[in-house]
Amino acid sequence: MLGPVILAASRSDRMRRLISAAPVTKQVVDRFIPGESVDDIVPIIEQLTDRGLELTMDVVGEDITTPEQATAARDAYLALIDRLRELGLGERVEMSVKLSMFGQALDGGHELALANVRPVVEAAAAIGTTVTLDAEDHTTLDSMFAIHEELRKDFPQTGCVIQAYLFRTEADARRLAAAGSRVRLVKGAYKEPAEVAYQQKHEIDKAYVRILGTLMEGEGYPMVGSHDPRLISIAQELARRAGRKPDEYEFQMLYGIRGDEHLRLAAEGHRMRVYTAYGTDWYGYFMRRLAEKPANLRFFLRSMLSK
Ligand code: FDA
């Protein structure tokens, strides 16, 4: 019950101001967003890669309101990629981007987002890595898939995310499960209406398994984005049945969630990629993490009350 309320609050400017200014928030936020700058995040990247993990980096921010902010988002990714080049970590660390942060919702936003994301994809390719386009709310997805298709003409390794809770996703998965494609499957983290998305956990989980089956049986590279232990063992079984070797798919989890499981899967010989977010505009990302697990909200509120 709490999840949808928190997701509604994630779109409220008033709540954003209140929560961002709360005295203890930062310390709670750090669990999921362990840094604000490239300098903060480099030691985390080094620590995780030293442990045999790979990463996908998210410079947090979304729903920007000016083209200048979109340019700043592009530049933030370019600065990170430049640092990864200096560190020689290009091949272990890819980028995840939200097109709303690149201007997708502004006037002429589709073209603007494409123009801003292209240099990031080019810079990533130049250091031997790639970019995955995150999936945001359902109204943005036709534009995201069109940008994905456009980028793939020059950079076929560009990935995208699909969300099991949406009715459309089974058809998207069939279209995307083709040779050379890289597709991350997640359950879905936004508040979506019943006209477009399953609302019940068991329906979402069943859809996840069906869609994962399509990806595993297809010719692309599936990226299993989930912390759900049941889905992780089903993924292993589907990969085995499809005759996939461990380097023909990967697991992905979020920084700060089930860290022991990241290490366990990597130790078993799986490719394990940790989605690591950093930056100052953390509100939307943080609120989605609270909505996924109400216990996080209770911890957050307790830490505020104990001050
Ligand atoms: P589920 O929510 O059932 O959680 C399974 C278990 O994981 C829980 O019982 C708990 O132990 C743990 N857990 C999950 N979330 C937690 C949390 N916030 N705090 C503490 N424990 C938690 N969504 C989207 O709409 N667009 C996107 O582009 C992405 N990108 C993305 C990348 C990656 C790498 C991951 C792992 C996830 C996303 N997501 C996403 C988020 C995704 O849609 C979903 O909301 C979360 O992964 C939670 O769903 P699970 O599959 O983990 O299952």
Structure confidence by residue, pLDDT tens digits, 40-52: 999 999 999 999 9
The amino acid present at 104, given as its one-letter code, is: Q
Decide: 157 and 180 in contact? Cβ < 8 Å. yes
The lowest-confidence range among 10-19, 64-73, 219-228 is 10-19
What's the gap in Å between 287 CA and the centre of ligand 1? 12
Structure confidence by residue, pLDDT tens digits, 146-165: 999 999 999 999 999 999 99
The 8-class DSSP code of residue 202 comes to H
| Domains of the chain with bracketed CATH | 33-281 (3.20.20.220)
Higher pLDDT, 109 or 90: 109
CA-to-CA distance for 117 and 74, rounded, in angstroms?
Answer: 7
What pLDDT score was predicted for residue 25?
Answer: 75
| pLDDT at 244 exceeding the cut of 80 | yes
What pLDDT score was predicted for residue 305?
Answer: 67
Mutation test of ligand 1: which of 57, 169, 227 has the most ligand atoms closer than 8 Å to its C-beta? 227
Please confirm, yes or no, whether 134 is among the known catalytic residues: yes
| pLDDT at 294 exceeding the cut of 90 | no
What's the gap in Å between 227 CA and the centre of ligand 1? 6
Residue 217: both structure tokens together: 């049986």
What pLDDT score was predicted for residue 114?
Answer: 98
| pLDDT at 3 exceeding the cut of 80 | yes
Please confirm, yes or no, whether 244 is among the known catalytic residues: no
Which are the contacts of 293, defined by CB distance < 8 A and separation ≥ 6? none
| pLDDT at 279 exceeding the cut of 70 | yes
Give the pLDDT mean for 168-180: 97
Tell me what ipTM this predicted complex has: 0.98
What's the gap in Å between 288 CA and the centre of ligand 1? 9
Give the pLDDT mean for 287-302: 83
The 8-class DSSP code of residue 223 comes to E
pLDDT band at 221 (very low <50, low <70, confident <90, very high): very high
Task: Report CA torsion sign: 143, 145, 148, 153.
Answer: negative
Closest CA to 229 of 261, 276, 201, 256: 261
Q: Residues with Cβ within 6 A of ligand 1?
A: 134-135, 161, 163, 186-190, 225-228, 252-254, 257-258, 275, 289, 292-293, 296
The 8-class DSSP code of residue 103 comes to T
